[in-house]
Every structure is written in structure tokens, then in C-alpha cells.
Structure 1
Amino acid sequence: MITSIFSKSKPINFLIVFVITALAFLTIKFKHIDAPVSSMFIFEQVITFLGLYFSILVLNFIASKNDLTPKSNLEIVLFSFFLLLLPESLFSAKVIWANFFILLAVRRLVSLRTKKRVKAKLFDAAMLIGIAALFYFWAILFFLLIPLILLFHSDDNIKHWVIPFVGLMTLFILCVGASIVMHDGYFRFFKVNHAICLDLSVYNTLQYIVSTAIMLVFGLWSSFSYVSSIKMKTSGLRPGFKVVFAGMFIAVVIILISPNKNGSDFLFLFAPLVIVIANYIELIKQKWIKEVFFSVLLITPIVFLVLNFLSVS
């Protein structure tokens, strides 16, 4: 019954996702608000929330346009569930914007399957990942997706391998120019934290343990089916599926090495993870198993929402 609600692409699903995302966003803001509630503060939060919701719409576009998931809205519904399961993923506005630009970059990379405007797409993807790194330094690791997708496409055009670096260099030159004009210095525009922290003790709480366990179990279980299904895809679709899987591992690395262990880094994981899980849910034949699978992903976030609300109160 639950899965049938989201089994087809419907406008109501986007409204449901909007409401769930807003609940997660408001939960973390009320829980950690430490700034005076001024008109400027409210404006900044609204803009950040719109950036978050547009990220979800970009995810839906990537998945549906490139046949990465069945023709439903499962991926964005699952994304909103994970936001509610771990609202700390919305702690940092910079990570939200970095994730937005990473998704735009992935959109360009996955669309390489059409073999149209390849150079422009590679250049754009590199610049978008570079912009994401300006918000959050370790997002630069997603640059690895560019040579990976070229390998997956067996692309031996040397220009295609060089262009992404040209894109990054172009962004670097623009930033240096902006730094000179705005700050009277060459590199003052670059305010990044490139430190590495491997201490995961901050995640030793009930919410993090349960949330991580759910993502780990469901992610690993779904991954076996996901990897097997890649072989059955057409040659044009396979690189996109492989890039999504690679992106999931890069996101895990970012979570492990991030200098600020506040939960915000998990946001990078959600997009590739929900694509993997959505594919598995659609392949489940037994309806009751599908219902149980989906119910756990629905009920657990609601329980944590109540707990978070009580802690705020």
C-alpha cells in the first residue's frame, strides 16, 4: 500500500517531498539555531532551503532523464526520508550548496551517453565541481568521476581528458581575479578547510548509530542487486550507473575524512544511495517484503522527528 503511493510519477509526490524536506530543515534549524532571528537570517534560510529543494528536483531529473531509476518518484521520496532520518545532514548551508553543484555536475556527466557536446559537458562538470569545492573543499574528490566516466565510455580522445583540467584552471583564474578586485590579494577568495579528521567518536549517539546502520544495511543489500543489474543495461546506460555507484564510495570517503564531524557530510551520500535503493525496491517481487522495506525507511525518520521535537521543546 505504501509503495503504491509512490509507484508512479505524480505531482502530489513532489508536494509530499517538499513537506518532508521542510520538516527536516526546520528541525535542524530549531535544534541548533544560535543566531538572532532577523529578516536577513530568514532570507538566508529561505534561499538555502530553495537550494536544497532544487537539488532534489535536479536528482529527479538526473534519474528520470537518464533511466537511472524506474519511472517513479521513489528516489526523491527516499532522499527526503533520509533527510528526516538524519536532519544533521542539513547543518551546513555550505554543504547544501556544494551538494547542489555536485548534482549539476553529475547531470552533465551522465548525459555524456548522448555523445553530444561532449567537450562542453566535461568543461561544465569540472567547473561545477570546482565551484562546489569553494563551498566545501573535499567536494573536489568528485572530480574523480570525470576520468572514471571517460574510462567507462572507453573514450581515448586526449582532448576530452585535458578539458576538465582546463575547466578547473579557468575557475581558478576567475577566482584569483575576483580576489584581487574584492580583497586586494591573490588568494584571499579561497577560504577552504582542507584538514582531515578520522575521529568518528562524535557519531557515537543513538541517532547516528541507527541512521548509519539503516543506510549501511539497506545500501549494501541493494548494492548487490544494483551491480548485477548493470550488466543487463544497454552499453549507453552502463557508464551512468557506474558513476552513481562510484559517487557513493566517494561520499563515504568524504564522511570518513571530513574535518567537521557534524553530520552535514552525509548529504553527499544520499543522492547516489537512494538511486541504488530505489532500483532494488522496484525489483522486489514479493509485495510484503517491499512494504516492510519501505515502512522501515518511513517509520524510523518519523520516530526520530518526534524525538528531535521533544528535545527542542
Structure 2
Amino acid sequence: MISNFFSKSKPVHYIVVSVILLLVFVLSRLNVFPEHSSLLFLVKQIGLFFTAFLSVFVFDFLVSRNGLTKKNSYNIILFVLFFAILPQTLLNPRLLFANLFILLALRRLISLRSPKEIKKKLFDASFWIALATLFYFWSWVFFIMVFAALLVYVISDVKNYLIPFVGVLAVAIIAMSYVIILDKDLIGYTAGVFDFSLDFSPLNSKRIIIGSTLLLSFGLWSSFYYIKNINAQMKSNKPSFKLIILSAILGLFIIAVAPSKNGSEFLFLFAPLSIIMTNYIEVIPEKWFKEILLWIIILTPIVLLML
């Protein structure tokens, strides 16, 4: 049974999810590979796969280190299967990099549950989010999480509220130095960066509609349990669980305002949704229902390939 296989965290699970991710990555790019691929093109593709691969393991480290789920592998298999359900998320290099940096920032923010090196954690989180913003402008909304973390972890020192701005300034200085030294066109780079759109018609395809509906409906159903269960968590864990909910809300906001809607913007929702759904799967008493739920998520990408 698939639910039993992933119910414990085992090294073989990392091999399984890596193979699935590689398969999905290759299949998602079949239509974009040129007839005669250059060495540079192949190197770029390997780099992009490594970015997606690293995202999975940063996410797993974030979850396991901070006790956001129990000791199982549901979270990483769901994370990778979401890529399979919406493979468009692997086709936008800028979003892949931005999402990796957001995961690194989230890892530092959740680690604020420990009072050690608070200033360093805040600087790191702000630095990563600012870096993500350079790749995808709407990543800036995750700065909200920095100040939300200060509130939920009851960090009252006023100096800590200034540190996020230092992190942003550090990235701004690096970016401006890059522009000046390499004589880049700053105006051309910023053109259209502030655009947004509330037009969802570009998402009007069977694959995206079915895939996104599945993720959002299962996610919404799981969220009811997740939010209800926050009060049952240990006091030290409650702030972390609240930040995951906020992360999901911000991911939905980016989906709503993304200027170019093609399905790739759902990527920011994968991490919080995987955590929320894993917490729900862990407590499902009926094994048959848990099995059906997982098989639906596994079989959906295969069905979508046939459409």
C-alpha cells in the first residue's frame, strides 16, 4: 500500500522522489527541446533541474527540522507530485529560483522558534526574499512573513524590526553594483516589473483547470483540519503552524495578481500546501480513504497527459 510505504521516513524515499522529479522534468520539456541541442542549452537544463531538486530537499529540511509534520515522507512525495500535476511550474526558470530563495527564507523564519541568533535569522530571511524579488517581483509579498514572524514569536526588541531593511539594502547594493559594473540596462530590466493582472482566462485549459482544482480543493479541505489543529499543538509550535497558513495565503495572492498566468505561479503554493495536506493525511483513521486520496494525486498527472 502506497500510504504504508511513505508512512515512515526512509532513504529509499529520496531516490523515489528524485526519479519522479527527473521524469516529470524531462517530460515537461519535451516540447521545448530544440532539434539540435547545444552544450550550453543542456547545461542550463541540468542547472534548472538541480534548482528544482534542491528545492525539494530544502523543503524537506525545513519540515523535518522544525517538526511541521510527523516523521514520514508524505510531505516530499506530495511536493514532487504537485510538480507532476502542474508541470508548467518547471518551465519558468525565474520562478524556480525565486521559489528556492523563498524556501530558504521560510526555513530561517520558522527557525525563530529558537531564540538563538535572532538578528542573523532575520537578516538571512530578508536577504533571501529580496533576492527572490529580483527574479520574480511579486515575491516581495513574502516580506509580510518576516514581520508576521516577529509578531507571532513575540520578538519585541525594536532593533529587530530594522534588520529586514538592512537585508533588503544589502541585496539592493549588490544588484546596483552588478548593473553598474556590467553596464546593464536598468530601465529595460524594470519595464513591466510592477505589472499585475486579474484576468484568469490564460489558465483556461483542461490540464490547468483539473490540476489546480484538485490541489485547491484538497488543500481547502485539509486546511479546515489544519487550522482547527493549531490549538492542539505545543505552545512552541503554534507560531510555526500559523506562518505556514500565512504562506499559503500569500501564495494564493500571487496566483491572483500574477501578470502572466500560465500555471507556473502555483509553485509558491506547493510548500505550504504539502505541509497542510500531510498533517491531514497523518490523522486520517480510515486507511482505505488515505490510500484513495494518495492514489488520486498519483494518477492525476497520468490522466492529464492523456488529455
Same fold (TM over 0.5): yes
Deviations 1:200-237 (A, max 9, x none): 11111111111111112100110011011111112221
Decide whether the 8 Å contact of 1:134 with 1:190 is kept in 2: no
User: Is 72-81 or 231-240 further displaced after alignment?
Assistant: 231-240
Q: Report the counterpart of residue 273 of structure 1 in structure 2.
A: 273
Decide whether the 8 Å contact of 1:134 with 1:192 is kept in 2: no
Instruction: Using structure 2 for the length normalisation, give the TM-score.
Output: 0.96
Q: What are the within-5 Å matches in structure 2 for residues 7-156 of structure 1?
A: 7-33=7-33, 37-156=37-156
Q: Report the counterpart of residue 166 of structure 1 in structure 2.
A: 166
User: Is 190-199 or 45-54 further displaced after alignment?
Assistant: 190-199
Deviations 1:84-113 (A, max 9, x none): 111011110110011000000000000011
User: Is 183-192 or 238-247 further displaced after alignment?
Assistant: 183-192
Question: How many residues of Structure 1 are paired with residues of Structure 2 in the alignment?
Answer: 307
Distance 1:184 1:56, change over 3 A: closer
Letter in 1 for 2:20: I
Give secondary structure in 2 for the equivalent of 1:231: helix
Distance 1:228 1:44, change over 3 A: same
1:272 shift after superposition: 0.6
Q: Report the counterpart of residue 197 of structure 2 in structure 1.
A: 197
Instruction: Using structure 1 for the length normalisation, give the TM-score.
Output: 0.94
Give secondary structure in 2 for the equivalent of 1:8: coil
Task: Tell me the distance in 1 between the aligned counterparts of 2:271 and 2:238.
Answer: 18
Distance 1:187 1:87, change over 3 A: same
1:186 shift after superposition: 6.8
Letter in 1 for 2:54: F
Q: CA RMSD in A?
A: 1.7
Give secondary structure in 1 for the equivalent of 2:67: coil
Q: What are the within-5 Å matches in structure 2 for residues 191-270 of structure 1?
A: 193-270=193-270
Decide whether the 8 Å contact of 1:123 with 1:163 is kept in 2: yes
Task: Tell me the distance in 2 between the aligned counterparts of 1:129 and 1:199.
Answer: 26
Task: Tell me the distance in 2 between the aligned counterparts of 1:209 and 1:185.
Answer: 38
Distance 1:185 1:71, change over 3 A: same
Distance 1:300 1:188, change over 3 A: closer
Structure 1 unpaired stretches of 5+: 309-313
Distance 1:60 1:192, change over 3 A: farther
Deviations 1:37-70 (A, max 9, x none): 1100000110110111110000000101100011
1:194 shift after superposition: 2.0
Distance 1:163 1:188, change over 3 A: farther
Distance 1:218 1:185, change over 3 A: closer
Q: Report the counterpart of residue 311 of structure 1 in structure 2.
A: none
Decide whether the 8 Å contact of 1:89 with 1:265 is kept in 2: yes
Letter in 2 for 1:9: S
Task: Tell me the distance in 2 between the aligned counterparts of 1:82 and 1:184.
Answer: 36
Distance 1:74 1:32, change over 3 A: same
Distance 1:270 1:243, change over 3 A: same
1:177 shift after superposition: 1.8
Task: Tell me the distance in 2 between the aligned counterparts of 1:192 and 1:249.
Answer: 24
Decide whether the 8 Å contact of 1:129 with 1:139 is kept in 2: yes
Task: Tell me the distance in 1 between the aligned counterparts of 2:261 and 2:185.
Answer: 31
